[in-house]
């Protein structure tokens, strides 16, 4: 089985699911999943995990995301972007840069955000956008998200563009709408480019055509997903015990989550509590060392 991660430069016009399906065909595999859904009209970094790498998706999904976004004041749509049906037109008056900056300051840090109806978030096993297409509106509680960077690139009413770094689960369309409401108007998103997702950067990403031309060269090793996680190196006996499901005491090991290694071989993920190493996601099962009774 082919295992690894591909840093895909998703084109606009494809769903994230479409991209994962294309990767399955290119590599001739059945297991593939992506980290962090991108809207169909959006472009940018979309890490796709194949084979055993899919077991590491939960670790990669925790990283922050970096976006370039453009919006237009004075138009509100049902989808939050310019692909949707127009619900409101509110001609935009001039907005001063000082006023705009003052409002942006309100959205830096932890803010509450209501997920949009046109999103892949599931409620009772069904995606919100499926309800929306049926004309059904579901109650969505506000959720905290963190906006660690929010800078104006250009303000040219009715358009504006922003540089955004945010936590997992942040909806940029909703952020742009909320900013507009604080300015006494409405807005929708006209452009979105994800330039980074966790440790995956757009400068290292590849188009689907490039990947199809050289699939093996584009494949990153599994441990790329957890390269910022602490490493725990073990000996042959410890590796055998842990990868075969045995909790093992390793003196002096601080509590936390670790990537487990035997020499330079990545074995999987473990957690440590009170110096006891517990296997969590084991990708390589180590054989019993010779001479062990």
**Residues with a known catalytic role:** 39
Q: Copy the structure tokens of residue 224.
A: 């790329």
**Alpha-carbon span 8 to 21, nearest angstrom:** 12
Distant-in-sequence, close-in-space partners of 166: CB < 8 Å, separation ≥ 6:
64, 65, 67, 145, 146, 147, 148, 149, 172, 175
CB 259 within 8 Å of CB 226: yes
The alpha-helical segments, DSSP class H, found in 207-286 are 208-213, 215-218, 236-243
**Alpha-carbon span 10 to 12, nearest angstrom:** 7
**Alpha-carbon span 176 to 51, nearest angstrom:** 37
Residue 62: alpha-carbon gap to chain centroid: 7
Q: Copy the structure tokens of residue 12.
A: 């606009």
């Amino acid at each position: 089985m082919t295992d690894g991660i591909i840093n895909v430069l998703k084109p606009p016009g494809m769903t994230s699911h479409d991209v994962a399906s294309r990767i399955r065909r290119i590599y001739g595999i059945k297991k593939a999943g992506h980290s962090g859904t991108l809207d169909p009209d959006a472009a940018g970094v979309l890490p796709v995990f194949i084979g055993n790498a899919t077991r590491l998706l939960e670790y990669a999904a925790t990283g922050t995301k970096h976006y370039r976004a453009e919006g237009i004041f004075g138009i509100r749509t049902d989808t939050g972007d310019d692909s949707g049906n127009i619900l409101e037109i509110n001609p935009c008056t001039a907005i001063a840069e000082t006023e705009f900056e003052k409002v942006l300051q309100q959205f830096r840090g932890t803010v509450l955000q209501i997920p949009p109806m046109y999103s892949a978030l599931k409620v009772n096993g069904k995606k919100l956008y499926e309800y929306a297409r049926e004309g059904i509106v579901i109650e969505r509680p506000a959720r905290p998200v963190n906006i660690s960077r929010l800078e104006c690139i250009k303000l040219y009413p009715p358009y504006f563009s922003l540089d955004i770094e945010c936590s997992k689960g942040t909806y940029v369309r909703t952020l742009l709408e909320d900013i507009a409401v604080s300015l006494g108007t409405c807005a929708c998103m006209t452009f979105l480019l994800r330039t980074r997702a966790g440790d995956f950067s757009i400068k290292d990403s590849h188009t689907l055509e490039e990947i199809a031309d050289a699939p093996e060269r584009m494949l990153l090793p599994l441990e790329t997903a957890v390269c910022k996680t602490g490493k725990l190196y073990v000996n042959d006996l410890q590796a055998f015990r842990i990868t075969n499901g045995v909790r093992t005491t390793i003196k002096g090991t601080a509590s936390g989550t670790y990537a487990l290694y035997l020499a330079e071989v990545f074995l999987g993920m473990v957690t440590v509590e009170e110096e006891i190493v517990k296997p969590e996601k084991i990708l390589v099962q180590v054989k019993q060392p010779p001479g062990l009774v």
